[in-house]
Amino acid sequence: MCGIIGYTGSLKAKNILLEGLTALEYRGYDSAGISMFEKDGIRTIKAAGKVADLAKKTEEYQDLNGTSGIGHTRWATHGGVTECNSHPHTYGKVTLIHNGIIENYHELELELAATGRYPVSQTDTEIVAMLLDSLYTGNAIAAIKAAAAQLDGAYAFCIMFADEPEVIYCLRNASPLLACKSKEGTFVASDVVALIGYSKDYFALPEQQIARLTKDSITVTNDMDEVVIPKMLHVSWDITAAQKKGYPHFMLKEIHEQPDTILSTILPRITKEGIVDFTVEQIPDTIFKDVNRIIITACGTAMHAGLIGRVMLEKLLRIPVEVEIASEFRYMDPIMDHYTLVITISQSGETADTLAALRLAKSEGATTLSIVNVKGSTIDRESDYVLYTQAGPEIAVASTKAYTAQLSCLYLLTYRFALVRGTITTQQCKEYVTELRNVIPAVKEALTLNKHIDDICSNLADKEDLFFIGRGIDYPLCWEGSIKLKEISYIHSEAYAAGELKHGTLSLITDGVPVVAIATQSKVLTKMISNIREVRARGAFVILITNGEIELEASAYDYPIVLPKTPDYLTPFTAAVALQLLAYYSCVHRGYDVDQPRNLAKAVTVE
Q: Kindly report the CA angle at 91 between 607 and 158, in degrees rounded to 5?
A: 50
> Tens digits of per-residue pLDDT, 217-238?
999 999 999 999 998 998 876 6
Separation of alpha carbons 304 and 324, rounded Å? 10
pLDDT of residue 508: 83
pLDDT of residue 478: 97
- Within a domain: 597: no
Q: How confident is the model at residue 544 (pLDDT cuts 50, 70, 90)?
A: very high
**Contact by Cβ (8 Å): 407, 308:** yes
Q: What is the pTM of this model?
A: 0.83
- Within a domain: 596: no
pLDDT of residue 36: 97
Percent of the chain with pLDDT strictly greater than 70? 97
Q: How confident is the model at residue 539 (pLDDT cuts 50, 70, 90)?
A: very high
Q: 159 and 227: one domain?
A: yes
Q: Which of 388-392, 550-554, 588-592 has the lowest mean pLDDT?
A: 550-554
- Within a domain: 376: yes
Q: How far is CA 172 from the centre of its chain?
A: 19
- Within a domain: 601: no
Separation of alpha carbons 141 and 211, rounded Å? 9
- Within a domain: 603: no
Active centre residues (catalytic): 2, 602
Question: What length is written for the chain?
Answer: 607
Residue 464 reports pLDDT greater than 90: yes
Q: How confident is the model at residue 89 (pLDDT cuts 50, 70, 90)?
A: very high
One DSSP character per residue, 262-323 reads HHHHHGGGB-TTS-B--TTTT--THHHHS-SEEEEEE-HHHHHHHHHHHHHHHHHH-S-EEE
Q: 577 and 459: one domain?
A: yes
Separation of alpha carbons 356 and 153, rounded Å? 12
Separation of alpha carbons 477 and 475, rounded Å? 5
pLDDT of residue 506: 81
pLDDT mean over 391-406? 92
41: left (phi over 0), alpha (psi -120 to 50) or beta: left
> Tens digits of per-residue pLDDT, 108-128?
999 999 999 999 999 999 999
pLDDT of residue 242: 58
pLDDT of residue 239: 54
Q: Which of 231-240, 361-370, 467-476, 596-605 has the lowest mean pLDDT?
A: 596-605
**Contact by Cβ (8 Å): 370, 343:** yes
Q: How confident is the model at residue 346 (pLDDT cuts 50, 70, 90)?
A: very high
Q: In what order do the strands lie in the sheet with 293-298?
A: 321-325, 293-298, 340-346, 367-372, 385-388
pLDDT of residue 504: 77
Q: 202 and 55: one domain?
A: yes
Separation of alpha carbons 126 and 495, rounded Å? 42
Q: Which of 87-91, 287-291, 416-420, 470-474 has the lowest mean pLDDT?
A: 287-291
pLDDT mean over 75-95? 92
Q: 496 and 460: one domain?
A: yes
Separation of alpha carbons 358 and 328, rounded Å? 13
Dihedral pair phi/psi, residue 584, rounded to 5°: -60, -50
Strand duo 385-388 + 367-372: pairing: parallel
- Within a domain: 605: no
pLDDT of residue 503: 83
CATH number at residue 157: 3.60.20.10
Q: 180 and 257: one domain?
A: no
pLDDT of residue 607: 52
Separation of alpha carbons 535 and 4, rounded Å? 49
> Tens digits of per-residue pLDDT, 415-442?
999 999 999 999 999 999 999 999 999 9
Residue 15 reports pLDDT greater than 80: yes
Dihedral pair phi/psi, residue 605, rounded to 5°: -100, 15
Q: Which of 113-127, 131-145, 153-167, 500-514 has the lowest mean pLDDT?
A: 500-514
pLDDT of residue 140: 97
One DSSP character per residue, 487-545 reads HHH--EEEEEEGGGGGGTGGGG--TT-EEEEEE--GGGHHHHHHHHHHHHHTT-EEEEE
Give the helix/strand (H/E) hosting 43.
strand 41-48
Question: Which residue range is the domain that position 228 belongs to?
Answer: 3-235
CATH number at residue 366: 3.40.50.10490
Q: 461 and 433: one domain?
A: no
Q: 181 and 312: one domain?
A: no
Q: How confident is the model at residue 595 (pLDDT cuts 50, 70, 90)?
A: confident
Of 408, 437, 466, the last residue of a domain is 437
Of 407, 437, 467, the last residue of a domain is 437
> Tens digits of per-residue pLDDT, 28-58?
678 999 999 999 999 999 999 889 999 999 9
Q: 314 and 452: one domain?
A: no
Of 205, 235, 265, the last residue of a domain is 235
Q: 273 and 376: one domain?
A: yes
Q: 403 and 256: one domain?
A: yes
Q: 206 and 94: one domain?
A: yes
Residue 165 reports pLDDT greater than 80: yes
pLDDT mean over 512-522? 95
Contacts of 222 (CB under 8 A, 6+ apart): 206, 208, 209, 228
pLDDT of residue 378: 87
If 0-12 CB within 10 Å is exposed, 13-18 middle and 19+ buried, where does residue 549 land? exposed
- Within a domain: 607: no
Q: 27 and 138: one domain?
A: yes
- Within a domain: 169: yes
Domains held by the chain: number: 3
